[in-house]
């Protein structure tokens, strides 16, 4: 009797997973931080690497039995260096936030100062007082922000850096519409002896696809990133730098970064994810540029189509976006309500703060992303149709059940993953792993 009960519980969980896949296959997933895996990436996640440990570095482990994984990690490092044209790569962080925690542990002491973008202006929480920076007890001073351009105010930020002389100049963004003024900020930071840290979590795949900015060439000392957003791999993080171990200062810098990861913020580090990251890097070397180009084209087309339907879209004068994201202003504290209404109709988004908001749980905007829609083969024409759905839902206030049926029919021809080695694979099929 007890065994039967446990089987019932296990079947319930499995059924929820299947229903989740069906749900997303019939919806329009537009959360900017989400994407879907290629079949080869998925295969790595169910490999025997899953249950193994490999603390340390290749060839220098605290455990035996790592010889095959050592080859995988070395290959992942090789591919990531090639992808980002850099001299140093650490593929061990288990998330983008973990990568940020490792960098902060490596490069700044509690009580020291860092300049940072304010959360209300689109920063990521890991660089805020409630996140990793707060845990490290860093004194945070916010850059001035240009609301019209949705970007860091260059002149004001340079003056701020020269005045406060921070240990780190941080650039981390959750709303990332346009490239940051890294060159100018890096010059000011280096003048006062600070390092510039660039959190590329959202735009990592666009950078790798050579369609955004190139932070490491523009002056960033270290770049962190998430491996599951515009770089469509498994959930995880990475750290990159173009510093060369040619002198003692740079050797010390890179040693600190490595020590920040292990033993700093990781023990074992999800070996199956590292294997899947390596696959994602290889796929992005092959398909990343065309994927990044189309992802940005789709975001720009979506912004224009929404604007033409009388939505307030940020960045209008600059073409709405140069990334995968669009930011909408819905109305005072109406972001959550709008996101719920969209979900009822089959569009998955997230509420988001906009400039001037001070309550993250009751914001006035929506953040939209095109990575997953692009991954399943949608292009500019489809973005226009999606904007029409937004108008019907939020402006015309049509019945959600009717629109959900229309969206399900619209999605029928967009089920197969593109931009990967197994083109045509149905990414939302629960059992189709290879």
How many Cβ atoms sit within 10 Å of the Cβ of residue 75? 18
Summarize pLDDT for 89-147 with one digit per residue, the tens: 999 999 999 999 999 999 999 999 999 988 777 777 778 777 778 888 899 999 999 98
Summarize pLDDT for 227-273 with one digit per residue, the tens: 999 999 999 999 999 999 888 999 999 999 999 999 999 999 999 99
Domain encompassing residue 122: 42-277
Does residue 57 fall inside a structural domain? yes
Number of structural domains in the chain: 1
Rounded distance between C-alpha atoms, residue 98 and residue 265, angstroms:
7
Please give the mean pLDDT across all residues of the chain: 94
Does residue 4 fall inside a structural domain? no
Summarize pLDDT for 302-361 with one digit per residue, the tens: 999 999 999 999 999 999 999 999 999 999 999 999 999 999 999 999 999 998 888 889
Does residue 107 fall inside a structural domain? yes
Does residue 195 fall inside a structural domain? yes
Pick 220 or 355 by higher pLDDT: 220
CA-wise closest residue to 382 among 9, 30, 19, 24: 30
133: left (phi over 0), alpha (psi -120 to 50) or beta: alpha
**Count of residues making up the chain:** 434
How many Cβ atoms sit within 10 Å of the Cβ of residue 407? 20
Predicted confidence (pLDDT) at residue 434 exceeds the cutoff of 50: no
Does residue 199 fall inside a structural domain? yes
Residue 147 token pair: 């609301």
CA-wise closest residue to 325 among 295, 289, 346: 295
Q: Which residues, in sequence order, are CB contacts of 379 under 8 Å at separation 6+?
A: 294, 297, 298
Predicted confidence (pLDDT) at residue 278 exceeds the cutoff of 90: yes
Q: Which domain CATH number covers 106?
A: 3.40.640.10
Residue 3: predicted pLDDT: 67
Residue 111 token pair: 């009580």
Rounded distance between C-alpha atoms, residue 390 and residue 411, angstroms:
15
Does residue 62 fall inside a structural domain? yes
Does residue 298 fall inside a structural domain? no
Q: Quick one: DSSP state of residue 194?
A: P
Residue % of the chain over a pLDDT of 70: 98
Summarize pLDDT for 46-105 with one digit per residue, the tens: 999 999 999 999 999 999 999 999 999 999 999 999 999 999 999 999 999 999 999 999
Q: Is the pTM of this model over 0.85?
A: yes
Confidence of residue 422 (pLDDT cuts 50, 70, 90): confident
Rounded distance between C-alpha atoms, residue 56 and residue 268, angstroms:
8
Beta strands 195-199 and 222-226 are parallel
Distance of CA 402 to the CA centre of its chain: 33
CA-wise closest residue to 261 among 224, 226, 229, 207: 224
Distance of CA 224 to the CA centre of its chain: 10
Predicted confidence (pLDDT) at residue 166 exceeds the cutoff of 50: yes
Does residue 310 fall inside a structural domain? no
């Amino acid at each position: 009797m007890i065994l039967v009960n446990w089987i019932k519980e296990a079947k319930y969980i499995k059924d929820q997973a299947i229903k989740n896949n069906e749900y997303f296959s019939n919806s329009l997933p537009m959360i900017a931080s989400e994407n879907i895996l290629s079949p080869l990436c998925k295969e790595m996640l169910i490999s025997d690497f899953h249950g193994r440990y490999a603390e340390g570095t290749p060839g220098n482990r605290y455990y035996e039995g790592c010889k095959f994984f050592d080859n995988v990690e070395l290959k992942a490092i090789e591919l990531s260096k090639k992808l980002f044209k850099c001299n140093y790569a650490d593929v061990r962080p288990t998330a983008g936030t973990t990568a940020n925690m490792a960098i902060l542990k490596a490069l700044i002491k509690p009580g020291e100062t860092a300049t940072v973008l304010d959360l209300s202006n689109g920063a990521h929480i890991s660089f805020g007082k409630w996140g990793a920076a707060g845990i490290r007890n860093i004194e945070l001073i916010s850059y001035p922000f240009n609301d019209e351009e949705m970007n860091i105010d260059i002149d004001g930020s340079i003056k701020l850096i020269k005045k406060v002389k921070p240990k780190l100049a941080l650039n981390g963004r959750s709303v990332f519409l346009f490239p940051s003024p890294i060159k100018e900020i890096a010059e000011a930071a280096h003048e006062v002896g600070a390092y510039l840290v660039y959190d590329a979590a959202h735009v990592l795949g666009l950078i790798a696809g050579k369609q955004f900015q190139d932070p490491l060439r523009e002056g960033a000392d270290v770049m962190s990133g998430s491996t599951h957003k515009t770089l469509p791999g498994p959930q995880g993080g990475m750290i990159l730098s173009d510093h060369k171990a040619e002198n003692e200062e740079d050797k010390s810098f890179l040693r600190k970064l490595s020590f920040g990861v292990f033993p700093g913020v990781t023990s074992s580090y999800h070996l199956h994810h590292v294997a899947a990251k390596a696959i994602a890097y290889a796929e992005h070397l092959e398909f990343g540029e065309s994927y990044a180009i189309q992802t940005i084209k789709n975001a720009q087309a979506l912004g224009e189509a929404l604007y033409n339907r009388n939505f307030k879209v940020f960045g209008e004068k600059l073409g709405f976006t140069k990334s995968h994201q669009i930011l909408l202003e819905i109305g005072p504290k109406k972001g959550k309500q709008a996101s719920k209404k969209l979900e009822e109709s089959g569009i998955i988004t997230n509420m988001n703060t906009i400039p001037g908001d001070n309550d993250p749980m009751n914001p006035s905007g929506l953040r939209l992303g095109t990575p997953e829609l692009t991954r399943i083969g949608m292009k500019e024409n489809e973005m226009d149709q999606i904007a029409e759905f937004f108008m019907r839902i939020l402006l015309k206030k049509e019945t959600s059940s009717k629109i959900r049926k229309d969206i399900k029919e619209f999605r029928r021809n967009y089920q197969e993953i593109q931009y990967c080695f197994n083109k045509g694979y149905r990414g939302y099929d629960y059992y189709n792993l290879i």
